[in-house]
Structure 1
Amino acid sequence: MRIKADFDLCKGHANCMGETPEVFEVDDKGYLNILQEEPPEELREKVELAVKHCPTGALSLEG
């Protein structure tokens, strides 16, 4: 699985970080950092929730 982010859509709500802090980080200025672009399969369910709960639809998964 590979995480894709549209940084133009991301508004720094940090829902993804709340769901999966080991994969996503939003800094003090509201910028998204993807800590693991290809997270391990055991995190799939949490990453899928993070993608689902992104209010702007900035996140997606491949694979």
Structure 2
Amino acid sequence: MAIMITDECINCGACEPECPNTAIYEGGVEWNWAGGTELKEVELEDGSVVDAKTAQDPISNEYYYIVSGKCTECLGFHEEPQCAAVCPVDCCVDDPDYRETEDELLAKKDWLHN
């Protein structure tokens, strides 16, 4: 399962530089698939294909957020999610809306970092 940041976030920013997939962004900041990855194009859920550098709308305007499609819970890089390890208020938690097996997370890591 991916990690999410709850509304208890104090916007300290400790989590953002720890993410090996560049899946964490400051509230209000646009994100893209290319940042921190090897992706050139991405097929979206609706079947459309976008350039990986295309700006995407922020998921939150209020606090830091994690792009679930880029989160691998740090598998293949670290033994535990680094955002959760450094968060001073424990607001980086499992996202119940994005449940993935270890194999799925490792496959996502390979997809992101060919």
- Interval of TM-score (by shorter of Structure 1 and Structure 2): 0.5 to 0.7
Runs of 4+ in structure 1 off by over 3 angstroms are 27-30
The structure having more radius of gyration, on CA atoms, is 2
Gaps in structure 1 of 5+ consecutive residues: none
| Structure (1 or 2) with the greater strand fraction | 1
Q: Which protein, 1 or 2, shows the higher relative CO under an 8 Å CA cutoff with sep ≥ 6? A: 1
What is the RMSD of the two structures over their aligned residues, measured on CA atoms? 3.1
Q: Secondary structure at the match of 2:68?
A: coil
After superposition, the Cα gap between the structure-2 partners of 1:47 and 1:14, relative to the gap in structure 1 and judged at 3 Å, is farther
Paired residues in the alignment total: 61
Give the C-alpha shift of residue 38 in structure 1: 5.6
Give the C-alpha shift of residue 5 in structure 1: 2.2
Give the C-alpha shift of residue 19 in structure 1: 0.5
Q: Aligned match of 2:71 in 39, 42, 58? A: 39
Give the C-alpha shift of residue 24 in structure 1: 0.5
Confirm whether residue 14 of structure 1 aligns to residue 13 of structure 2. Answer: yes
Q: 2:79, 2:16 → 1: CA distance?
A: 10
TM-score (norm 2): 0.41
